[in-house]
Amino acid sequence: MTETEKKKKADRTPMPEQAPEVRRRNFLEVPTGYTEEMAVTEAQRCLQCKNPGCVKGCPVNVDIPGFIKFIAERKFTEAIRHIWTTNSLPAVCGRVCPQENQCEGQCILGKKGLPVAIGNLERFAADWEREQGTGALPPKQSSTGKRVAVVGSGPSGLTVAGDLIVKGHDVTVYEAFHKAGGVLVYGIPEFRLPKAIVAQEVNFLERLGVKVECNAVVGRTVSLDELFEEGYDAIYVGVGAGLPRFMNIPGENLIGILSANEYLTRANLMKAYKFPEVDTPIPHGKNVVVLGAGNVAMDSARTAMRLGADSVRIVYRRSRTEMPARGAEIHHAEEEGIEFFLLTNPTRYIGNEKGRLIGMECLKMELGEPDASGRRRPVPVEGSEFQLECDLCIVAVGSGANPLLTSSTEDMKLNKWGYIIADEETGKTTKKGVWAGGDIVTGAATVILAMGAGRKAADSIHKYLTFGW
């Protein structure tokens, strides 16, 4: 048997994880991480393709075979350093990227068997560095004297900050919340992305010299023009989508109906699952319904289960194939006992005399002709109304563009949905000296796409600071 054949034969190394019946009631991270042995074994499966599909599948083009080779050779420090040249948040990406649609989806081993576990290896390298690495910082160029303000400390903002600080620019990140990290802190739950890891990534940037100013609501506390007056040479806007969508059906303001943004912010940022040890409460539903089937819906459903719900149901108007969540999240949710009511659409909420939610009425759907999104349009089945008992409903049907900053910046053009118009290649907006990227440009998307936009904008900002607009 040749070396290549041996590799093809080898099974993908599974990531150890907490058993479903245990983890469904705790907030500890679900996958517990590779050991060094596991990582080396998995890394050895990589065929080191000459023309690797995985790199093309990555929005920030991490040299995947390159860092995997280092792991296979047990050169873990070199592996993380290699990742850092293209990705400043590997501990995050290893955990939350939709690898199956990106790098791993392009892996040649995936054609006949299972692809190399690229995400798991990326996570391993980052975790190894955090736990056992030297803590040494990557090299940084001498100061250019140019100042950049980054608005929003989510994945795209942190990427811009990381890229520009090593190029010698002076970078300050503004965050509206009291803690930096954006969606990584308020949105993604502890059991999927421990907050200590996000804090570490932010701390890494601070050690490189990035200044982080929390409690600064740009658009209220300070405007973009005032930031320029303060002496900034360029501004990057990465404030996220940040406007919750509701269903706009009767009864939506009953007590017990929360946007996923509110529910997850209470749980994640405010740590309300520790109430009353912390002061922020969160509703504990007995029978919980989550509307939507994206990652945010899965996060909400799994949070509700961990808060002690008897039943948690995902209600989604399309079918399983259209569910936008990562495969791993759907799988984990099912293992934890989340039920799926597919092809089901709520039509109204039902409350009691105290204005508290006690149930909802739903309609069965069937798939019709494809719509504008290319997905088959769900059509109601006449007379199929039925009621679901529930005392808590989390609405996770997407977000729109939050107008707080954009409405206070008159000379920055928006599209008809309120998102910022920015050049696809450079991230330049219509306002001189201002770039934008991430969800406030594209609408709600993924961490890695926001990081990709940040990377492009950082390159463009660097060119501007060096050569002009």
Partner 1 sequence: MFKIVRREEMSQGNVVLNEIEAPKIAAKAKPGQFVILKANEEGERIPLTMADTDPAKGTITIIYMVVGKSTALFKSLKVGEGFQDVIGPLGKPTHVEKVGTVVCVGGGTGVAVLYPITRAMKKAGNRVVAIIGARNKDLLIMEDLMREASNELIVCTDDGSYGHHGFVTDKLKEVIEREKVDQAVCIGPVPMMKFCSKLTKEYNVPTLVSLNPIMVDGTGMCGGCRVTVGGKTKFGCVDGPEFDGHQVDYDELMMRLQAYCEDEKRCYEHYCTLHDAK
Interface residues toward partner 1, by CB under 8 A: 176-178, 214-217, 220-222, 242-244, 246, 252-253, 255-256, 258-259, 261-262, 265-266, 270-271, 275-281, 283, 354-355, 402-404
Using the minimum distance from each CB to partner 1, give the nearer residue, 129 or 439.
439
Q: Smallest distance, Å, CB 293 to partner 1?
A: 20
User: What is the H or E stretch that residue 69 is in?
Assistant: helix 64-72
Q: 137 or 278, CB closer to partner 1?
A: 278
- Indicate the length of the chain as a whole number: 469
Q: Please state the closest distance from residue 199 (CB atom) to partner 1, in A.
A: 12
Distance, CA of 23 to CA of 21 (rounded, Å)? 6
Q: Which residue has the tokens 């890695």?
A: 448
Q: Closest separation between CB of residue 219 and partner 1, Å?
A: 8
Residue with tokens 């569910």: 323
Q: What angle do CA 364, 370, 375 make, to 5 degrees?
A: 75
115 vs 283, beta carbon nearer partner 1: 283
Min separation Cβ 226 and partner 1, Å: 9
Q: How far is the CB of 194 from partner 1 (least distance, A)?
A: 17
For the CB of residue 269, give the shortest distance to partner 1 in the complex, in Å: 8
Q: Which is nearer to partner 1, 93 or 227 (CB)?
A: 227
Give the CA angle between residues 382, 384, 389 to the nearest 5°.
145
CA separation (Å) from 169 to 86, 218, 444? 18, 21, 29
Of 40 and 272, CB closest to partner 1: 272
- Nearest approach in angstroms of CB 215 to partner 1 is 5
Copy the structure tokens of residue 128: 């190894």
| Beta-ladder partners of 339 | 313
What residues pair up with 434 in beta bridges, in sequence order? 235
The tokens describing 117, both together, are 């576990």
- Of the two residues 94 and 283, which places its CB atom closer to partner 1 in the complex? 283
Give the Cβ contact number of residue 194 at 10 Å. Answer: 17
- For partner 1, the closer of residues 7 and 284 by Cβ is 284
Query: How many whole angstroms separate alpha carbon 363 and alpha carbon 349?
Result: 12
Return the amino acid letter for 196: A
H helix runs in 167-317, sequence order:
183-186, 195-208, 224-229, 260-264, 295-306
Least spacing, CB of residue 285 vs partner 1, in Å: 13
CA–CA dist 162, 206 (Å, integer): 9
C-beta closer to partner 1: residue 47 or 177: 177
